C-alpha cells in the first residue's frame, strides 16, 4: 500500500509537472540554454522575415471525427479529440477508412494561400495522434492505411514549389498517442494503448530513435528542399533530446528554419503561445499562430468564426509588432476547406492585392505608442499608417517624427494627401468617405531615414504606456521579467514594482486603465489588488475589476481584460514617472483545456500588458 500512495502522489506530481510543461512549451518562457549561431540564423531567416505572412494547415484523422465522438460534441481543440474523448487506438485507427481525400486538390489550396498573400505553408505531417500523412517506412500508422494510395504531402509540396510558396512541415516531435514509448502518463488516457496505465512503460529515447527521428529523416530526404520544420509541444524533452531534433536538420538541410517550439530556445525564432499577440514591438524574431475559429483541426460545430476585419487587423498588428503572422485552416476529411475560412482568406487577399507593400519586408512600428486609429509599419524611408477607424476630426496628428514627410498618399489609389510638417509634429488630413472596414493604408514618404521619439506620448486623448517600455525595481523575492510578447511575468506582491514613464502635454485629470492578459485560458483572477503611484497621486489597493474583455480573437489562450482603477491629476506638463505594484493576487480558475479540474489553483503572476491614461475633458 505504501507503493500505492507514493504512485498516486507521483501521479499528482506528474500531472502538475505536465501542466507546467504545457505552459512552458507554449510560451516564450523556455530556459535559455543554448543559442544557434547568429550569422547562420540570420541568413536562414531572410525569406521568412520578408514573408511576414504564412498559412498553417491542420489536417489528419481528427478531421474525420470533426469534433464529435459517438454522436456527441467533444469540447476543446479538434486535433486533440483522441485525448479529450479518451479514444483507444483500436477505435481511433478506424478513422483511416473515412479519410478519403476525395476532394483533395492541393493546387487549389495553394492557389488560395497565394491569393490570400501568404508566402509559406506549414502542413501537419504528423500531429499528436501519431498518424503520418505520407507513406512512412518508420511507422505503419500512415496514409497507406487509408483508401487514398498516393502521397498527399508530396502533392502539396509540388504545388507549393510551382506557385513559389515556401514549404514548411509541422511535426509533433514529443507527443505521439499511437506510441506507448511516447506516453505522457499525466495527460493521457491509459486506454490509448489497450492496457492499464500501470502496465504502460514509456521509453522516450526509444520512441525518438525508432519513430520521430527516422520520420524527420524521411521528411528531409524524400521531398527536396524543406524551408521550415515546425516542431510542437516539447514538454519534458531534455536539452539533449531537443538538440537531436535540431542536429538532424542542420545535418540534412542546413538552410531549413527550425521554429521555437523545438524546446530550450534552440530554434531560429522564438516561440509564442497559440493565438498570442505581443502587446508591444518584439525585439526578437517571433511568429503569431492564429486560429480562424476555436480549433486548429476541423470541427463541424465550431462556429466561433472570427471576423474578416479582425483577422486582417491581426495580420497588420503582427507586422506592426515586427513579427510574422501564420493563420490556420482546418480542411475537412475529404479536403474541402470550410467556407468561412475561404471567405476570410479571400477578404485578406483582396486587401493584400493592393496593400501588401505595407506588410512584406516591413519592420514594426518605430514609435512606442499604440495609436487609437490603427497600426504603423515601416520600410526604408516610408511609414505605413493602417487606419482601422476614422481618426478624430479626420486628421492624424503624428508626434515624435524627426524627419519631414515629403509625400503622403492613400496606398491603394495613390491619391495624394495634405501634410503639414511642424518640427516633430506632423498633421495628415484624411479625406471623407474611406471604408474603414477595409482598413485603408496611408503611405508617408520621408525626406530622410526615419528617426522617432520613443517616449509615450498622447494620441487622441490617450497615452498608451506598454509594460515593456518600463524598467523594474526588485522586491524581497526577485523581480519582474518580461515575456517575449511584452507582458510582465513573475509580477506578484513579492517581486517589486514596474516603473514607467509618459509625457504629459495637457495638464489635467486622467483616468487610469490597466490591461492584463491571461495565459492558457485561465480565468480572470477575481480579487486582485494593485497600487499605482504617480506624482502626488496614490491609487492604493485598487481592485482589478473586469470592465471589458477581448476574448474571441485571442482564443484559445490569451484573452485580454481591462479595468479602470481610478483617476490621477497632473498639474503640469512634462515627463511623469509611474510606479505600479501588486498588493494581492486573486484566485484563478482554468477552463480545463486538458480536462482537469483546476478550480482555485493559484499562480504568482499578473500579466500586465499596458496602462492607458485617458484625458478627462472637463
Ligand atoms: C498546440 C496544440 C496543437 C496545435 C498547436 C498549434 O500546442 O497542442 O494541437 O497544433 O498548438 O500551434
Instruction: Locate 157 and state its grid cell.
Output: 509540396
- Decide if pLDDT at 124 tops 60: yes
Are β-strands 120-126 and 53-57 bridged in parallel, bridged antiparallel, or unpaired?
Answer: parallel
> Is 156 near ligand 1, meaning CB less than 6 Å away?
no
> Is 287 near ligand 1, meaning CB less than 6 Å away?
no
E-state strands within 304-351: 324-329
Q: Residue with the nearest Cα to atom 12 of ligand 1?
A: 274
Q: What is the pLDDT of residue 595?
A: 47
Q: What is the pLDDT of residue 79?
A: 97
User: What's the rounded mean pLDDT across residues 42-50?
Assistant: 96
- Decide if pLDDT at 118 tops 90: yes
Q: What is the pLDDT of residue 4?
A: 29
Instruction: Locate 478 and state its grid cell.
Output: 526577485
The Cα 575–Cα 140 span in angstroms is 66
DSSP 452: B
Q: Quick one: which of 497, 496, 466, 501 has its CA closest to 483?
A: 466
Instruction: Locate 186 and state its grid cell.
Output: 499525466
Given a contact cutoff of 8 angstroms between Cβ atoms, the answer to whether 288 and 318 are in contact is yes
Instruction: Locate 317 and state its grid cell.
Output: 498588428
Atom of ligand 1 nearest to the CA of 175: 8
- Decide if pLDDT at 240 tops 70: yes
Buried b / exposed e along 535-555 (16+ C-beta atoms within 10 A): eebebeebebeeeeeeebbbb
Q: What is the pTM of this model?
A: 0.91
Buried b / exposed e along 267-281 (16+ C-beta atoms within 10 A): bbbbbbbbbbbbbbb
> Is 289 near ligand 1, meaning CB less than 6 Å away?
yes
Q: Quick one: which of 131, 213, 212 has its CA closest to 178?
A: 131
Compute, in angstroms, the gap from residue 232 CA to the centroid of ligand 1: 7
> Is 382 near ligand 1, meaning CB less than 6 Å away?
no
Please give the C-alpha separations between residue 315 and each of 227, 308, 564, in angstroms, as whole numbers: 21, 11, 28
Given a contact cutoff of 8 angstroms between Cβ atoms, the answer to whether 373 and 388 are in contact is yes
DSSP 39: H
Q: What is the pLDDT of residue 140?
A: 98
Are β-strands 166-171 and 419-422 bridged in parallel, bridged antiparallel, or unpaired?
Answer: unpaired
Band (pLDDT 50/70/90 cuts) for residue 35 is very low
Band (pLDDT 50/70/90 cuts) for residue 184 is confident
Atom of ligand 1 nearest to the CA of 328: 6
> Is 233 near ligand 1, meaning CB less than 6 Å away?
yes
Mutate to test the pocket of ligand 1, among 123, 177, 274 (most ligand atoms within 8 A of CB): 274
User: What's the rounded mean pLDDT across residues 153-160?
Assistant: 98
Given a contact cutoff of 8 angstroms between Cβ atoms, the answer to whether 582 and 488 are in contact is no
Q: Quick one: which of 429, 593, 453 has its CA closest to 523?
A: 593
- Decide if pLDDT at 345 tops 50: yes
Amino acid at each position: 500500500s505504501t507503493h500505492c500512495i507514493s504512485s498516486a502522489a507521483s501521479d499528482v506530481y506528474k500531472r502538475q509537472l505536465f501542466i507546467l510543461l504545457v505552459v512552458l512549451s507554449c510560451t516564450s518562457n523556455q530556459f535559455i540554454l543554448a543559442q544557434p549561431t547568429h550569422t547562420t540564423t540570420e541568413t536562414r531567416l531572410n525569406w521568412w522575415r520578408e514573408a511576414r505572412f504564412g498559412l498553417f494547415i491542420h489536417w489528419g484523422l481528427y478531421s474525420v471525427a470533426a469534433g464529435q465522438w459517438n454522436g456527441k460534441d467533444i469540447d476543446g481543440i479538434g486535433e486533440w479529440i483522441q485525448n479529450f474523448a479518451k479514444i483507444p487506438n483500436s477505435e481511433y485507427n478506424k478513422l483511416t477508412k473515412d479519410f478519403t481525400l476525395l476532394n483533395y486538390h492541393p493546387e487549389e489550396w495553394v492557389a488560395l494561400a497565394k491569393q490570400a498573400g501568404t508566402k509559406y505553408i506549414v502542413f501537419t505531417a504528423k500531429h499528436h495522434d501519431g498518424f503520418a500523412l505520407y507513406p512512412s517506412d518508420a511507422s505503419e500508422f500512415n496514409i497507406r492505411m487509408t483508401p487514398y494510395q498516393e502521397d498527399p504531402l508530396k502533392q502539396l509540396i509540388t504545388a507549393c514549389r510551382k506557385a513559389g510558396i515556401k514549404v514548411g512541415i509541422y511535426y509533433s516531435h514529443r507527443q505521439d498517442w499511437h506510441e506507448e514509448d511516447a506516453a505522457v502518463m499525466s495527460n493521457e488516457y491509459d486506454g490509448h494503448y489497450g492496457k492499464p496505465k500501470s502496465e504502460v512503460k514509456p521509453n522516450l529515447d526509444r520512441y525518438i530513435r525508432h519513430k520521430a527521428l527516422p520520420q524527420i529523416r524521411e521528411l528531409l530526404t524524400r521531398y527536396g528542399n524543406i524551408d521550415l520544420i515546425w516542431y510542437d509541444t516539447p514538454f519534458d524533452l531534455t536539452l539533449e533530446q531537443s538538440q537531436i531534433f535540431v542536429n538532424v536538420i542542420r545535418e540534412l538541410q542546413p538552410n531549413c528554419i527550425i521554429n521555437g517550439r523545438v524546446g530550450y530556445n534552440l530554434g531560429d525564432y522564438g516561440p509564442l503561445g497559440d493565438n498570442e499577440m505581443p502587446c508591444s514591438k518584439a525585439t526578437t524574431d517571433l511568429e503569431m499562430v492564429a486560429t480562424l475559429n476555436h480549433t486548429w483541426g476541423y470541427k463541424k460545430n465550431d462556429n466561433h468564426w472570427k471576423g474578416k476585419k479582425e483577422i486582417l487587423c491581426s495580420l497588420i498588428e503582427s507586422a506592426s509588432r515586427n513579427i510574422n503572422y501564420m493563420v490556420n485552416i482546418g480542411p475537412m476529411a475529404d479536403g474541402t476547406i470550410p467556407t468561412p475560412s475561404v471567405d476570410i482568406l479571400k477578404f485578406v487577399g483582396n486587401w493584400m492585392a493592393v496593400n501588401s507593400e505595407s506588410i512584406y519586408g516591413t519592420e514594426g512600428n518605430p514609435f512606442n505608442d499604440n495609436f487609437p486609429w490603427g497600426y504603423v509599419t515601416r520600410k526604408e524611408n516610408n511609414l505605413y499608417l493602417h487606419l482601422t477607424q476614422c481618426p478624430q476630426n479626420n486628421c492624424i496628428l503624428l508626434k515624435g517624427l524627426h524627419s519631414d514627410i515629403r509625400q503622403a498618399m492613400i496606398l491603394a489609389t495613390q491619391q495624394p494627401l495634405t501634410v503639414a510638417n511642424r518640427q516633430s509634429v506632423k498633421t495628415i488630413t484624411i479625406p471623407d468617405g474611406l471604408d474603414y472596414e477595409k482598413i485603408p493604408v496611408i503611405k508617408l514618404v520621408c525626406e530622410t531615414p526615419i528617426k522617432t521619439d520613443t517616449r509615450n506620448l498622447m494620441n487622441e486623448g490617450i497615452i498608451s504606456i506598454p509594460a515593456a517600455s518600463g524598467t523594474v525595481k526588485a522586491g524581497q523575492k526577485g523581480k519582474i521579467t518580461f515575456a517575449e510578447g511584452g507582458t510582465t511575468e513573475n509580477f506578484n506582491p513579492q517581486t517589486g514594482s514596474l516603473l514607467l514613464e509618459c509625457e504629459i502635454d495637457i495638464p489635467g485629470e486622467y483616468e487610469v486603465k490597466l490591461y492584463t492578459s491571461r495565459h492558457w485560458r485561465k480565468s480572470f483572477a477575481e480579487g486582485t489588488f494593485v497600487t499605482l503611484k504617480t506624482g502626488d497621486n496614490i491609487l492604493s489597493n485598487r481592485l482589478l475589476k473586469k470592465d471589458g474583455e477581448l476574448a474571441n480573437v485571442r482564443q484559445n489562450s490569451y484573452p485580454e481584460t481591462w479595468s479602470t482603477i481610478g483617476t490621477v491629476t497632473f498639474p503640469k506638463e512634462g515627463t511623469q514617472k509611474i510606479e505600479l505594484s501588486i498588493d494581492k493576487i486573486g484566485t484563478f480558475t482554468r477552463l480545463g483545456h486538458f480536462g482537469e479540474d483546476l478550480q482555485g489553483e493559484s499562480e504568482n503572476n499578473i500579466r500586465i500588458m499596458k496602462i492607458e491614461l485617458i484625458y478627462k475633458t472637463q
